Amino acid sequence: MAPVTVSSDGIGIAHLPNQKHKIITNLGANFTIMVCGESGLGKTTFINTLFTTSIKDYKNAKRRHDKQLDRTVEIEITKAELEEKMFKVKLNVIDTPGFGDYVNNYDSWLPVIEFLDDQHESYMRQEQQPSRQGIIDMRVHACLYFIRPTSQGLLPLDIEIMKRLGTRVNLIPVIAKADTITSNNLLILKQRIRDIIDAQGINVYRSPLESDDEQVTERNQTILDAMPFAIIGSTESVTTPDGRQVKGRAYSWGVAEVENDQHCDFKKLRNLLVRSHMHDLISTTEDMHYERYREREMANRKFGESKIKRYENPKHREKEDALRKVFTEQVKQEENRFRQWEQQLIAERDRLNKDLEAQHAQIKNLETELDQLYHHQQQGRGTIRR
Ligand SMILES: Nc1nc2c(ncn2[C@@H]2O[C@H](COP(=O)(O)OP(=O)(O)OP(=O)(O)O)[C@@H](O)[C@H]2O)c(=O)[nH]1
Ligand SMILES: [Mg+2]
């Protein structure tokens, strides 16, 4: 997908302390966010919302909006460039197909895990090359895991997936469709999710708290307290009862506003991602997740050896099965054709054999006739001589 050059309005990199600016710009700031979770929870809508609320003149908004109601069927990458003053960040946002239910799609989340590992792998290989310029880096710095807004909190499948994600990537749990749950129930749900995360030992991203600046520490505390972030996604502009134009979802009882802290944590999450914690997300990915991958892989295989495929992509498997079916069918048809041809040949051979027999018999008859004639002639001559 072609990158969209944008100028970020009020968000971003220029708000980072100077020291961090430098590190990010020196690294050529590449920042990658991924969304994943059950199908239909609003992942694609969230990405569209992030772009339309953060990026001035976002050109693809209409196109993406048209696609909003479609199920995402493959991993899709949208690239944008955040630009503020002198600083540029290449932003990659990765949308993934939603996971299905236990029965049909138990392993539909495996490609996401595979994708995360593949990015570490690709970076590691490029790092091993003599020239390290122009390295393409798509390692995921933040993975948002969408949780349905129902009272159970996390289901066993969520726990299993989140455990695996948490050891590979900065995992940020979010509660989807926060407008469909009362604020009281939301608080209960948040606590339930936090309890399960602790009890199950799921490794989620914990934003750093302490800072020399008291205000920053306070803001960090607010962000930490909000986890798991409740979000509302919408690219629609709606009018509030008091006449403001906002991005939100209109209901008979009023408007659920995307960028209102009283309604959801969208703004907090966006700030964490593209402003306050971008640097921390990048450095923890590098120092913790990438290092862990590198160490594990180096210990398990020889230098230069390629990565062992841990998971099969179910989509590829489906394709393979279909191809195998077509191939088996073709072989069967060929075999049938061959068998018919063989039978024809046998019939033809029998017919020829019969012909041959008949001709033999005929020849035999002719020979006998000839013999008789010859005999007869000899006898006639003998009679004359005498
Ligand atoms: N009430 C409410 N509905 C939402 C919200 N976000 C998205 N939706 C709706 O939920 C439906 C599914 O949204 P998508 O963004 O396509 O969901 P998805 O997670 O990308 O789905 P898959 O691609 O199948 O995984 C759409 O009808 C959206 O309009 C939200 O915050 N609140
Ligand atoms: Mg989608």
Kindly indicate the confidence band of residue 365, based on its pLDDT and cuts at 50, 70 and 90: very high
pLDDT on residue 10: 40
pLDDT in tens, 205-218: 988 877 778 888 88
Query: DSSP class of residue 210?
Result: -
Q: State the residue for tokens 């493959």.
A: 74
pLDDT at residue 144 is higher than 60: yes
Q: Ligand 2 centroid to 41 CA: how many Å?
A: 8
Identify the residue whose C-alpha is closest to ligand 1 atom 2.
177
30 exposed, middle or buried (CB, 10 Å; 0-12, 13-18, 19+)?
Answer: middle
CA atoms within 13 A of residue 316's CA, in its CB half-sphere: 7
Question: Separation of 305 CA from ligand 1 center, angstroms?
Answer: 42
pLDDT of residue 175: 97
Answer whether residue 86 shows pLDDT above 70: no
Average pLDDT score over residue span 174-199: 95
What's the rounded Cα separation, in Å, for the pair 3 and 201? 38
For 17-26, the pLDDT digits (tens) are 443 444 444 4
12-21, 23-32, 161-170, 375-384: range with lowest mean pLDDT: 12-21
Strands (E) across the chain are located at: 4-7, 30-37, 76-84, 87-95, 142-147, 171-175, 229-230, 237-239, 245-251, 254-257
- Give 72 Cα–ligand 2 centroid separation in angstroms: 4
Closest protein CA for atom 8 of ligand 1: 42
Q: pTM of the predicted model, to two decimals?
A: 0.74
Which residues have beta carbons under 5 A from ligand 2 (an ion)?
A: 43-44, 72
Question: pLDDT-based confidence at 106, cuts 50/70/90?
Answer: low
Distance 144 CA to ligand 2 centre (A): 13
